[in-house]
Structure 1
C-alpha cells in the first residue's frame, strides 16, 4: 500500500525535493523542481519556475551539445590540429562534435568512439637497402622489407637487381643492398711488333761489320 501511495504522490508532483520523480526529459532544478530539459544544441539559461518553463540558450561557436540536458554550458569542440597530423573530417556544429582523421602521410595511433582519430603519427620511411612492402594508410604504418641478395635499393622505395657487366667490361665495384654494381671498360692489351726491330738490328750490325772489316 505504501509503494502505491508513493507512486501516486510522484505522479502528481508533490514529492519533488529529492528529484527522483522527474521524467526522462526533465531535470532537477536548484530548488528541487522538475524542469523540462533543453534540446540538443542548447543549454539552460534560466531554470523553470511555477510560472514559466525552462529558458534555453544556443551553443556558441566552438561548442556543442549532443543530447537533451539540464546543463548550464555546452561542451567544447575537439580541435583537429594539422600540426599533429589531423584534419576535420566532420566540422563541429551546435549539435555534434568535430570528427578528426589523419592527414595524408600520417596514420592514426588512437581511435575515438565516433570513428575519428585523436592522435596521428607520420608514416615510417624505409631506409636504403629496403623496399616498401605495404604502403602506409590512415590506419596503418608503412611496412618495409630488406632487399634480397643480388638486389639494391638506394632510396628505400623498391629493390632492383644488380647490373650485370658485359663481356667487354669488368666489375670495378661490388654491389650492396643499397648500391649497384659498378662496371668499367676492360684494359686493352698492347702487343709489340718485334720482327721489324730485329731486322733493323741485323742491318745495323751488318753495316758495322762491313766497316770494321774494310
Structure 2
C-alpha cells in the first residue's frame, strides 16, 4: 500500500514539473507560478497566477523572466577612465562599456580597462588597424620607402633620379631622396666661392682702414707722408718784388701851364728822413 502511494506522489510531482515552463514559471509549494517579464522585478510572490511586478530603475536591467525582487546593475562606465558615457542604457540587456576613440578594451567579455592605442610614427606604416578590443600593429618602412607623418597607411618609394641629376640628399625612412642638376650645383658652388672670397677681401680692407692703431697702417701712413714732404721741397716758391713807382709824364692843362705856355713842373716831395742814433761824443777844449 505504501508503495502505491509513493508511486502516485512521484507521478503527480512529475506532472506538475512537466506542465510548469522553467523559462516563464517557477514551482512554489507544488504549484506552478508565473514570473515577471524582462526589464521588471517581482514585488511579492503572494499571487501565483498574477504576480505584482515593477520596472527596473535607471542603471539596472533584467534580461529575462524572473521571480527575483532585485534587478541587475549596469556596469559603471566612468569617462575619467576613458570610457564612453552610456546614454539611456537598456533595461532588458547588459550594456557593456566601450572605450573612447584612440583607446581599446583589454578584455572583450568584460571591458573594465581602457588602454591607449599605439600610434605609428613617421618611418612606419599601419600593419593592423586598431579596434575596440585590439591594439594597432605597426611595421617599419622597408629600405627604399618612407613615410613622413603618423599613422601612415602605406610607405612611399624614394624618387629615382634621372640622367644628369645627382643625389643631393639620400633618402631615409622618414624623407624622400632629393635630385638636383649636377651642372647647376657646380655653378652654384663656384659662385658661392667667389662671393666668399670677395667678402673676405672687403673685410680685410675694412679692418686696415678703420684700425688706425695697427702697425701696418702706421707704416703705410708714415711712408705716404714722407713722400709728400719731398714733393713740397722740390717746388720753387714764387718771388714777390716790391712794385717800382714810375713817374708818368704830366699832360698840359690850364691848371699846370703858365701865362707864357710853359708847363709847371711839380715839385718833388722832400726825401724821407730816417732817424739816426745821437752821438754821445763831446769835444772838450783845454786851455
Common fold by TM > 0.5? yes
Q: 2:74 aligns with which of 74, 77, 84?
A: 77
2:141 maps to what in 1? 147
CA distance in 1, matches of 2:62, 2:73: 9
* 1:1-58 alpha-carbon deviations (Å, 9 max, x no partner): 4553223553798xxxxxx8994302548xx9765322222212122169x8532222
1:207 maps to what in 2? none
Q: Which aligned pairs between 1:12-91 and structure 2 lie closer than 5 A?
A: 23=20, 24=22, 25-28=25-28, 35-48=33-46, 54-87=51-84, 91=88
CA distance in 2, matches of 1:11, 1:159: 71
2:270 maps to what in 1? none
CA distance in 2, matches of 1:61, 1:97: 13
1:131–1:53: structure 2 CA closer, same or farther, 3 Å change rule?
Answer: closer
Give secondary structure in 1 for the equivalent of 2:75: coil
CA distance in 1, matches of 2:38, 2:120: 48
CA contact (8 A) 1:22 1:28 kept: no
* 1:126-152 alpha-carbon deviations (Å, 9 max, x no partner): 123212234333354323221122333
1:43–1:175: structure 2 CA closer, same or farther, 3 Å change rule?
Answer: same
2:12 pairs with 1:5 = no
Q: 2:190 aligns with which of 181, 188, 191?
A: 188
Give secondary structure in 2 for the equivalent of 1:144: strand
Q: 1:129 aligns with which of 115, 123, 127?
A: 123
CA contact (8 A) 1:79 1:98 kept: no
* 1:135-188 alpha-carbon deviations (Å, 9 max, x no partner): 3333543232211223332334243334566746663x5433234456774412
Q: 2:108 aligns with which of 107, 111, 120?
A: 111
**The structure with more radius of gyration:** 2
Q: 1 or 2, which has the higher helix percentage?
A: 2
CA distance in 1, matches of 2:63, 2:89: 11
Task: Give structure 2 stretches of 5+ with no counterpart.
Answer: 195-287
2:171 maps to what in 1? 175
Tell me which moved more, 71-80 or 116-125: 116-125
CA distance in 1, matches of 2:165, 2:58: 76
Q: 1 or 2, which has the higher strand percentage?
A: 1
